[in-house]
């Protein structure tokens, strides 16, 4: 069964509260998502492998640590996942970025794929899939399925807000994928929106509504 990590850090919770407020505008929403993503990835990557290296400081030669193991790939689910990319690249500037385009059919709530471009060596990378919202889990589950179908196995999922339904779906479909969220909300409404949530993340991020 996959692990679910809920971030209770006061800075993350404070910033998320501002994002939830319906009066928060597009610019501030975007900046906050950027900041929270950067704070979250710090914990998401806590178990990355390191190796001992030798460095000569101005004082002496010493043994210290550097990242080892698989390089990182980050894969935002379009559109809203794009809002999490820059914050993560601030901390992991050498990460390669793949994109998966999915939208949720408003009538059926089923995900429809319209784009997929992954790094060439994606199967040799530690992959972090990004989407601010995990509602029914249909989009994230499908995206992870598409990534696995291309031979990739080391996948973690990072969401800003998840509904219990979405968590259950990922745990059922992808028990090998750990999920990291800033908040686990109460439930989904009849339109598949997370309650209390923050509304439509893509629209709030890009100002399309
Ligand atoms: C939103 C969100 C997720 C999906 C979550 O995207 O960014 O991708 O819905 O819902 P689910 O867990 O029920 O699948 P949307 O389909 O609205 O597309 P957008 O990012 O282009 O706005
Ligand atoms: N997608 C969103 O952007 N928000 C929700 O609450 C659910 C799906």
Q: Which tens digits make up the pLDDT trace of 84-125?
A: 999 999 999 999 999 999 887 888 878 888 999 999 999 999
Query: Is pLDDT above 90 for 129?
Result: yes
Whether residue 20 lies in the annotated active site? no
Give the residue, out of 132, 202, 204, with the most ligand 1 atoms within 8 A of its beta carbon, to mutate for a pocket test: 202
pTM, entire model: 0.95
Q: Which of the four pLDDT bands, split at 50, 70 and 90, describes residue 131?
A: very high
| 183 membership: H or E segment, kind and range | strand 178-184
pLDDT of residue 4: 97
> Which among 50, 64, 108, 208 is annotated as catalytic?
108
Q: What percent of the chain has pLDDT over 70?
A: 100
Give yes or no: 34 in active site: no
Which of 194, 196, 199, 202 to mutate to test ligand 2, by most ligand atoms within 8 A of the CB atom? 194
Determine the 3-state secondary structure of 184 from DSSP. strand
Ligand 1: which residue has its CA nearest to atom 22?
A: 202
pLDDT of residue 189: 97
Residues 198, 199, 205: CA angle, nearest 5 degrees: 85
pLDDT of residue 69: 86
Is the pLDDT at 194 greater than 80? The verdict is yes
Q: Is 108 a catalytic residue?
A: yes
Q: What is the mean pLDDT of residues 162-186?
A: 98
CA distances for 86 relative to 4, 102, 134, angstroms: 24, 20, 20
Q: What is the pLDDT of residues 55-74, one digit of tens each?
A: 999 999 999 999 998 999 99
147 pLDDT band, cuts 50/70/90, is very high
Per-residue model confidence (pLDDT) at position 2:
85
Distance of CA 131 from the midpoint of ligand 2 (Å) = 10
Query: Do the Cβ atoms of 87 and 35 come closer than 8 Å?
Result: yes
Average pLDDT along the chain: 95
Residues linked to residue 5 through DSSP beta bridges, in sequence order = 180
**Tens of pLDDT, residues 17-32:** 999 999 999 999 999 9
Ligand 2: residues with CB < 6 A are: 133, 135, 192-194, 197, 200-202
Cα 184 to middle of ligand 2, angstroms: 13
Q: Which DSSP category does 71 fall into?
A: P
What is the percent of the chain where pLDDT is above 90? 91
The whole-number pLDDT of residue 89 equals 97
Nearest CA to ligand 1 atom 7: 80
Rg (CA), the chain: 18
* Nearest atom (ligand 2) to Cα of 202: 3
Phi, psi of 62 (to 5 degrees): -140, 160
In this prediction, residue 138 carries a pLDDT of: 93
Closest residue (by CA) to atom 3 of ligand 2? Answer: 200
* Closest ligand 1 atom number to CA of residue 166: 12
- pLDDT band, very low/low/confident/very high, at 134 (cuts 50, 70, 90): very high
């Amino acid at each position: 069964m996959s692990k679910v990590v809920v971030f209770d850090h006061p800075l993350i919770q404070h910033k998320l509260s501002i994002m939830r407020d319906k009066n928060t505008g597009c610019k501030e929403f975007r900046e906050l998502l950027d900041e929270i993503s950067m704070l979250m990835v710090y914990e998401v990557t806590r178990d990355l492998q390191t190796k001992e290296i030798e460095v000569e400081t101005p004082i002496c030669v010493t043994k210290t640590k550097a990242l080892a193991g698989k390089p990182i790939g980050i894969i935002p689910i379009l559109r809203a996942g794009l809002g999490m990319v820059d914050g993560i690249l601030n901390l992991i500037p050498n990460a390669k970025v793949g994109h998966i385009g999915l939208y949720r059919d408003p009538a059926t709530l089923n995900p429809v794929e319209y784009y997929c471009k992954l790094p060439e060596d994606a199967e040799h990378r530690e992959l972090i899939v990004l989407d601010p919202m995990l509602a029914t889990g249909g989009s994230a589950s499908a995206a992870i399925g598409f990534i696995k179908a291309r031979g990739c196995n080391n996948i973690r999922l990072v969401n800003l807000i998840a509904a219990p339904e979405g968590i259950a779906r990922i745990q059922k479909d992808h028990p090998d994928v750990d999920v990291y969220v800033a908040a686990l909300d109460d439930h989904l409404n009849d339109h598949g929106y997370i309650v209390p949530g923050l509304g439509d993340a893509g629209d709030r991020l890009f100002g399309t509504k």
